[in-house]
Structures are given as C-alpha cells and as structure tokens.
C-alpha cells in the first residue's frame, strides 16, 4: 500500500501509514528517521562558521537518512536583516550545489530575491515548503523549476484554494509542518476533494514525486517499513 508522505514537519509521530521527513536545525537533537538539515533564518543571525557548514555537508554526504538540506531561506518578517539572510542562504546553497543535494526553501515575502538565487544555483532540486500564495506567484516559482509543498486545511482563503486547483500535480508535495490540528491524512483528503480525485490517487502522485525529488538517497531505502521502529 502506498504510504502518505508528510513532506515537511518538525517532529516525528510514528504514524503506521506515513513517511515523515523531519526538519533539523543544525545540531538540534530530534526524534527522527528521514530528515533534512539546515539553518533556519529565524534562528541564524550571523554568517555560518566552517564548523556549522561542516555539519550540513557531513550529514548529507554520509547519512543515507539525510535526504536533503533545509529548511533555510529568506523571511522578511522575522530573523536577521534580508542581506544577512541572503548571505547565510547562499552559504548553504553552495554546499547543496557541491553535492547536487535537494533543498527545502523557507521563503516569506522574499520571492524576488530567492528567484535570483535560483537562477545562480539551478543544478539541484528545490522545493518551497508551506507555499500559501496565489497562483500567479505559484507559476513564477514553478517556472523557475521549484516544486511546491502545500498544507491544505479546513479554512482556506479563495485565493489559496484557487492555487491548489491550479498547481501541476507532478510538482507538488503535502505537509503538516507539524501543525497537527489538521493531520496529514485530512490534508490529503482536502486536496483530493479540491482536485476531484481519490485520496489513493493523490497518495500515488505524491509518493512518485517524493521518490524522484529525493532519488539520490531514496534508492538506498526500502520505503515505509524502514521507518517503523
């Protein structure tokens, strides 16, 4: 049976039918199996040191359960000033570029700057997690070769729902971002209803997208059974 993919969250729940990818900030210790690792813009005020960068590079290069680098990026509303955030983001992009590692992007009201960096670093997969904007911006992000990870919920705006109806199915993931007031199963159900498809169809599509996006690491894993302890 095809599992659900919770593409991005911050704490593993050990759900029997879900593959969960936990986001780790630097040396932070969390219960995890599959994970990504990066330096979040909310909690990073200065350029990364060589030892901090080594944490990223070592994890991705040596741990088959480290699927990618992130989340990191730009946030106009929180964290250091955007010039500093861009420096820190580019430090992490250089590590990703060296290893062709997929990255998980955090971007809040800073898409113009993020898309400029995408043009410079385009030799590896990008995904913008938690995308909630309109379909016009979605098209710009998609046209730049960036996937979208989405979190459908119960009280969506018409603009968000219109974007969910528009986004190409081969470019999407579904996540909770650890907002478990709506679990991953319900988020799939909501999205399936919007697209007038079955949940099983959406599960197959997202799982296929997931294995392609993380193909360099996923080839080492057996899938859902590997996550069960």
pLDDT of the residue at 226: 52
Q: Tell me, what's the pLDDT at 55?
A: 98
What confidence score (pLDDT) does residue 228 get? 42
Tens-digit pLDDT profile for residues 188-228: 999 999 999 999 999 999 999 999 999 999 988 865 455 54
Token readout for 143 is: 């046209």
Confidence of residue 13 (pLDDT cuts 50, 70, 90): confident
The C-alpha atoms of residue 120 and residue 47 are separated, in whole angstroms, by 19
Tokens of 125: 């997969």
Provide the β-strand partners of residue 75: 108
What tokens were used for 44? 């990073």
The answer, yes or no, to whether residue 69 has pLDDT greater than 80, is: yes
Q: What is the pLDDT of residue 221?
A: 82
What interhelical angle do 199-213 and 184-195 show, nearest 10?
110
Q: Which CATH class is domain 4-223?
A: alpha beta
pLDDT at 224: 47
pTM of the predicted structure, to 2 decimals? 0.95
* Model confidence pLDDT, tens digit, residues 138-183: 999 999 999 999 999 999 999 999 999 999 999 999 999 989 889 9
Domain limits of the chain?
4-223
The DSSP result for the chain, as a single string, is -PPEEEEEESS----TTEEEEEEEETT-----SEEEEE--GGG--SPPPHHHHHHHHHHHHH-TTEEEEEEEEEETTSSS-HHHHHHHHHHHHHHHHHHT--EEEEEES-HHHHHHHHHHS-SS-EEETT--S-HHHHHHHHHTTEEEEE---SS--HHHHHHHHHS-GGGEEE--TT-TTS-HHHHHHHHHHHHT--HHHHHHHHHHHHHHHTHHHHTT--SHHHH--
Q: Name every residue whose Cβ is closer than 8 Å to that of residue 50 and which is 6 or more positions away in sequence.
A: none
């Amino acid at each position: 049976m095809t599992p659900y993919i919770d593409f991005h969250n911050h704490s593993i729940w050990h759900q029997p039918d879900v593959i969960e990818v936990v986001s780790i900030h630097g040396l932070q210790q969390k219960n995890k199996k599959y994970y990504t690792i990066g330096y979040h813009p909310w909690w990073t005020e200065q350029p990364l040191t060589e030892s901090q960068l080594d944490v990223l590079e070592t994890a991705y290069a040596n741990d088959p359960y480290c699927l990618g680098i992130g989340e990191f990026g730009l946030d106009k509303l929180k964290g250091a000033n955007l010039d500093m955030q861009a420096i820190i983001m580019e430090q992490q992009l250089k590590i990703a570029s060296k290893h062709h590692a997929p990255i998980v992007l955090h971007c809040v009201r800073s898409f113009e700057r993020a898309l400029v960096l995408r043009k410079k670093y385009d030799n590896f997969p990008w995904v913008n997690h938690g995308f909630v904007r309109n379909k016009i911006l979605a098209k710009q992000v998609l046209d730049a070769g960036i996937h979208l990870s989405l979190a459908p919920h119960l009280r969506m705006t018409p603009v968000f729902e219109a974007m969910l109806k528009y986004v190409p199915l081969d470019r999407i993931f579904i996540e909770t971002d650890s907002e478990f007031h709506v679990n991953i199963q319900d988020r799939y159900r909501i999205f399936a209803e919007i697209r007038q498809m079955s949940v099983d169809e959406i599960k197959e599509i997202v799982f296929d997208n997931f294995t392609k996006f993380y193909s360099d690491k996923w080839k080492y894993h057996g899938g859902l059974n590997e996550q069960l302890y």
